[in-house]
């Protein structure tokens, strides 16, 4: 039990508990919840409400112990006062930059983070600031049979002469390595049953929050798949230097949260000809393989181990 004398002491006590995990940046609050940061006001308030209400803070009045945090109205009052104090005293202007810089060349998992630069897996530490993660544990042991099969799937989609080039590109985009020589976009034209859905399923199930689609977009995605009518497969540069792989379903346009900037196009084939893909490879022919691809952790980790080879 913690005994304090008045509300001001309670506010100061709680502020000191949360100040290292609650910042004000660019007119928004950011709260560290577990290993990720959130910026949703309602979610932050709900988290603080539970956190404060569970604190054993009391006031002694004679032999009676009166709780400061048991009552909802009182807890809401403390939240308002603490947030006001955070906005004045706990401003962190570089927080948004840290979301980029600290996760460069890294993928964050439940059990740690994978560093593409060192090709090593580390336990979580305070150096990482992220708003997204892959919601599963990463297995550092390589299953070479699964890696081999994932490479075959991608080779069947892109063609054997292009696969190393494509995998190098994907590895750099996924690792958020945007200061390298990736100055142009990739482009290919895929016919019906050309492997587009397979490609999305593979990357989305493996990389989860790092991959988006036309319905799943935010500024921290590293790969976005959106189909358009003439099947252009391009990667575009975000206006804040994020690199995003992009399959567009419609004309390039401004979205509410993301301003896309079109870059130059580079054909995948060396002779600057479109790549024509004629079938959906074995995924459509063997549903069991698709089930394994979508639902087994081995396939999900295998793609990441494969990309790691190309960084």
Supply the pLDDT for residue 240: 33
Q: How confident is the model at residue 226 (pLDDT cuts 50, 70, 90)?
A: low
Residues 6+ apart with CB under 8 A from 282: 153, 156, 289
**Between 179 and 65, residue with greater pLDDT:** 65
Name which of 55-59, 165-169, 179-183 the model is least confident about.
179-183
Per-residue pLDDT at 92 exceeds 70: yes
% of residues, the chain, pLDDT over 70: 68
Supply the pLDDT for residue 306: 97
Supply the pLDDT for residue 112: 98
Average pLDDT of span 93-112: 93
Q: How many CA atoms lie within 13 A of 8 on its CB side?
A: 0
Phi and psi at residue 196, in whole multiples of 5°? -65, -50
Q: How confident is the model at residue 114 (pLDDT cuts 50, 70, 90)?
A: very high
Per-residue pLDDT at 45 exceeds 70: yes
Burial 209-222 (b: 16+ CB within 10 A, else e): bbbbbeeebebbbb
With both helix axes pointing from N to C terminus, report the angle between 163-174 and 297-309 in degrees, rounded to the nearest 10. Answer: 100
Burial 46-74 (b: 16+ CB within 10 A, else e): ebbbebbeebebbbeeeeeeeebbeeeeb
Supply the pLDDT for residue 201: 82
Task: Return the residue matching tokens 């039990």.
Answer: 1
pTM of the shown model? 0.77
Structure tokens at 250: 């419609």
Residue 253, burial from CB neighbour count under 10 angstroms (0-12, 13-18, 19+) = exposed
Supply the pLDDT for residue 182: 45
**Between 180 and 310, residue with greater pLDDT:** 310
Q: How many CA atoms lie within 13 A of 280 on its CB side?
A: 14
First to last CA, the chain: 52
pLDDT, tens only, 174-219: 887 655 444 444 444 444 555 667 787 888 889 999 887 655 556 6
Name which of 70-84, 123-137, 224-238, 250-264 the model is least confident about.
250-264
pLDDT, tens only, 117-136: 999 999 999 999 999 999 99
CA 234 to chain centre: 20
**Between 252 and 202, residue with greater pLDDT:** 202
Contact 194, 202 (CB under 8 A): no
Structure tokens at 70: 């048991």
**Between 206 and 224, residue with greater pLDDT:** 206
Average pLDDT of span 91-102: 92
Per-residue pLDDT at 159 exceeds 90: no
Q: What is the mean pLDDT of the chain?
A: 76
Supply the pLDDT for residue 84: 97
Instruction: Give the CA diameter of the chain.
Output: 88
Q: How confident is the model at residue 48 (pLDDT cuts 50, 70, 90)?
A: very high
**In the 3-class helix/strand/coil scheme, how is the chain assigned residue by residue?**
CEECCCHHHHHHHHHHHHCCCEEEECCEEEEEECCEEECCHHHHHHHHHHHHHCCCEEEEECCEEEECCCCHHHHHHHHHHHHHHHHHHCECCCHHHHHHHCCCCEEEECCEEEECCCCEEECCCCCCCCCCCECCCCCCCCCHHHHHHHHHHHHHHHCCCCHHHHHHHHHHHHCCCCCCCCCCEEECCCCCCCCHHHHHHHHHHHHHHHEEECCECCCCCCEEECCCCCCCEEEEEECCCCEEEEECCCCCCCCCCCCEECCCEEECCCCCCCCCCCCCHHHHHCHHHHHHHHHCHHHHHHHHHHHHHCC
Q: How confident is the model at residue 6 (pLDDT cuts 50, 70, 90)?
A: very high
Residue 183, burial from CB neighbour count under 10 angstroms (0-12, 13-18, 19+) = exposed
């Amino acid at each position: 039990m913690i005994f304090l004398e008045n509300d001001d002491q309670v506010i100061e006590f709680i502020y000191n508990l949360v100040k290292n995990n609650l910042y004000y940046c660019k007119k928004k609050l950011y709260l560290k919840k577990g290993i990720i940061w959130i910026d949703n006001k309602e979610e932050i308030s709900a988290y603080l409400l539970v956190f404060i209400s569970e604190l054993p803070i009391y006031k002694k009045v004679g032999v009676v112990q009166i709780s400061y945090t048991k009552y909802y109205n009182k807890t809401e009052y403390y939240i308002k006062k603490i947030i006001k104090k955070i906005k004045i005293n706990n401003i962190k202007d570089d927080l948004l930059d840290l979301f980029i810089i600290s996760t460069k060349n890294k993928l964050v998992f439940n059990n740690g983070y994978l560093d593409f630069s060192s090709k090593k897996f580390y336990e979580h530490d305070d150096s990482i600031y992220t708003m997204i993660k892959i919601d599963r544990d990463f297995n550092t042991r390589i299953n070479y049979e699964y890696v081999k099969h994932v490479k075959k799937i991608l080779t069947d989609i892109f063609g054997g002469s292009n696969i190393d080039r494509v995998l190098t590109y994907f590895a750099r985009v996924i690792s958020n390595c945007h200061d390298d020589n990736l100055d142009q976009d990739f482009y290919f034209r895929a016919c019906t049953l050309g492997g587009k859905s397979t490609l999305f399923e593979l990357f989305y199930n493996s990389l989860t929050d790092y991959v988006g689609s036309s319905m799943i977009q935010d500024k921290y995605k590293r790969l976005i798949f959106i189909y358009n009518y003439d099947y252009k497969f391009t990667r575009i540069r975000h206006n804040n230097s994020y690199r995003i792989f992009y399959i567009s379903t419609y004309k390039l346009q401004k979205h509410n949260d993301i301003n896309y900037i079109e870059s130059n196009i580079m054909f995948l084939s060396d002779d600057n000809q479109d790549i024509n893909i004629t079938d959906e490879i074995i995924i459509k022919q063997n549903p069991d393989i698709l089930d394994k691809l979508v639902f087994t952790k081995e396939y999900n980790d295998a793609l990441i181990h494969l990309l790691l080879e190309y960084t």
